[in-house]
C-alpha cells in the first residue's frame, strides 16, 4: 500500500472515530430541568448557590433554576406544582396542616445569623434594660428568636426592653439606629457587620444563645415517592455545596461566590460575611430532632396554627443520611 493511500485511510479512520465520539456525546442523557423557589436573599443560602456555581447540580444530571421570589409566592408556586422544590421552609412545615404532604429534606443553617447591635455607650446585653430596640416584623421568627435571646440574659421583651417591630430591611433598621431613634437594632448579615465596622457594639449574636435551623429546601411526598433518585441527587449536590463552603481550604473561592451572588465589591466585607455564616452553618447538615421540633413549634406560633405538628412529620433526612455515607462524612 502506498504512503498516499495509507494517509487517506488514516484520515478516514480519524474522521470516523471523531464522528463516533460526537454521536456518543450527542446521545448523552440531557440534564433534567428542575426549579427551586428561594424566598430570601439571606447569606444562609450560600451553600446552595455555591453548589450551583461550582456545577455540583450539573454533576448530578440536574439543570437547576434558582428562582428568587417572596415567601408567599414560593409557597403558592410550590402548592400549585409550578416549582418542584421550595426553600420556603415555613410553608413546608405547615403543609401537614393543609393536607398537602411535604417534607423538608435538608437544613444548611443550624443557628440564626442575626445580631443585636447597640449604640457605643451600651456595653453589655443587660444594659438594654429600659432601652428601645428596633426589631423585625411583628410575630416573625426573627422577632421571637430575639425575644428568646433577651431571656437568656434575664430580660423580658415588653417589660424590660421595648422592642419596636419595624420589619422592612436591615438597612432601614441600621438607619434608625444611626439616627438615634432607637438604642439598638436587630440586624442580619451584612448590616450587623457594617454597623460594627462603624463603631457600634455587637451585644448579642443570636446564634451564640439560640439554636434554630434555617435555609434549605424540601419537596412533596409525591415527588419523593415517584422520583427518589432525583431527590437524592438534589440533596447530595447541596450537601457538597455545604461541605465546599465549610472547608477552610475553599475560603477564597467561597468568598468569591458570595461576592458574585450578593454583588459585594469589598473583599474584606465579603470575608467577614463568610465568617459570620460559618458561625451558623450546620456541620454535615446534622440537625437534632429537638431543633427540628423547636423550628416546627416556632413556625406554628408565628403562623397562628393551633394544630399540633410533630417534627418527624415535616422532615425526611433519609436521603441526607445516604448522601453523608456516600460522601464519607462522619457524624
Tell me the angle at which helices 228-246 and 318-326 cross, rounded to the nearest 10 degrees. 60
pLDDT of 18 = 46
Whether residue 10 is predicted with pLDDT greater than 70 in this model: the reply is no
Q: Which one of 208, 235, 267 terminates a domain? A: 208
Total number of domains constituting the chain: 2
In a domain, 21, yes or no: no
- CA 283 vs. chain centroid, Å, equals 13
User: For residue 28, with 0-12 CB atoms within 10 Å meaning exposed, 13-18 middle and 19 or more buried, which class applies?
Assistant: exposed
The reply to whether 219 and 306 lie within a common domain is yes
Share above pLDDT 90 across residues of the chain, in percent, rounded to a whole number: 64
In a domain, 136, yes or no: yes
**Which CATH number covers residue 264?**
3.40.190.10
Contact 282, 44 (CB under 8 A): no
In a domain, 9, yes or no: no
Q: Which of 22-26, 35-39, 163-167, 190-194 comes out lowest in average pLDDT?
A: 22-26
Q: Tens of pLDDT along 103-137?
A: 999 999 999 998 999 999 999 999 999 999 998 87
Q: Tens of pLDDT along 302-313?
A: 788 888 889 988
- CA 210 vs. chain centroid, Å, equals 17
Domain housing 164: 115-208
CA separation for the pair 76, 71 (Å, rounded): 8
Contact 76, 58 (CB under 8 A): no
Whether residue 11 is predicted with pLDDT greater than 50 in this model: the reply is no
Amino acid at each position: 500500500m502506498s504512503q498516499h493511500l495509507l494517509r487517506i485511510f488514516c484520515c478516514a479512520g480519524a474522521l470516523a472515530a471523531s464522528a463516533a465520539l460526537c454521536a456518543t456525546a450527542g446521545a448523552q442523557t440531557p440534564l433534567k430541568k428542575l426549579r427551586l423557589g428561594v424566598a430570601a436573599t439571606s447569606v444562609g443560602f450560600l451553600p446552595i448557590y455555591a453548589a450551583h456555581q461550582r456545577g455540583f447540580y450539573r454533576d448530578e444530571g440536574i439543570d437547576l433554576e434558582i428562582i428568587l421570589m417572596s415567601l408567599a409566592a414560593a409557597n403558592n408556586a410550590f402548592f400549585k406544582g409550578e416549582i418542584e422544590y421550595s426553600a420556603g421552609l415555613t410553608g413546608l412545615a405547615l403543609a401537614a396542616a393543609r393536607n398537602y404532604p411535604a417534607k423538608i429534606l435538608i437544613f444548611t443553617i443550624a443557628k440564626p445569623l442575626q445580631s443585636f447591635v447597640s449604640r457605643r455607650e451600651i456595653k453589655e446585653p443587660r444594659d438594654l434594660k429600659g432601652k428601645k430596640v428596633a426589631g423585625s416584623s411583628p410575630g416573625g421568627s426573627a422577632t421571637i428568636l430575639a425575644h428568646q435571646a433577651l431571656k437568656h440574659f434575664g430580660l423580658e421583651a415588653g417589660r424590660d426592653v421595648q422592642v419596636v417591630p419595624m420589619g422592612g430591611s436591615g438597612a432601614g433598621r441600621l438607619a434608625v439606629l444611626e439616627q438615634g431613634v432607637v438604642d439598638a437594632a436587630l440586624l442580619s448579615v451584612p448590616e450587623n457587620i457594617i454597623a460594627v465596622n462603624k463603631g457600634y457594639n455587637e451585644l448579642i449574636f443570636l446564634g451564640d444563645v439560640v439554636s434554630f435551623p434555617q435555609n434549605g429546601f424540601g419537596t412533596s411526598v409525591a415527588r419523593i415517592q415517584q422520583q427518589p433518585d432525583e431527590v437524592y441527587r438534589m440533596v447530595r449536590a447541596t450537601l457538597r455545596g455545604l461541605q465546599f463552603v465549610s472547608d477552610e481550604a475553599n475560603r477564597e473561592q467561597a468568598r468569591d461566590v458570595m461576592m458574585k451572588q450578593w454583588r459585594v465589591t469589598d473583599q474584606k466585607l465579603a470575608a467577614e460575611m463568610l465568617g459570620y455564616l460559618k458561625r451558623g452553618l450546620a456541620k454535615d447538615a446534622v440537625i437534632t430532632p429537638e431543633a427540628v421540633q423547636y423550628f416546627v413549634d416556632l413556625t406554628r406560633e408565628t403562623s397562628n396554627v393551633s394544630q399540633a405538628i410533630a417534627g418527624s412529620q415535616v422532615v425526611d433526612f433519609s436521603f441526607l443520611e445516604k448522601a453523608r455515607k456516600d460522601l464519607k462524612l462522619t457524624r
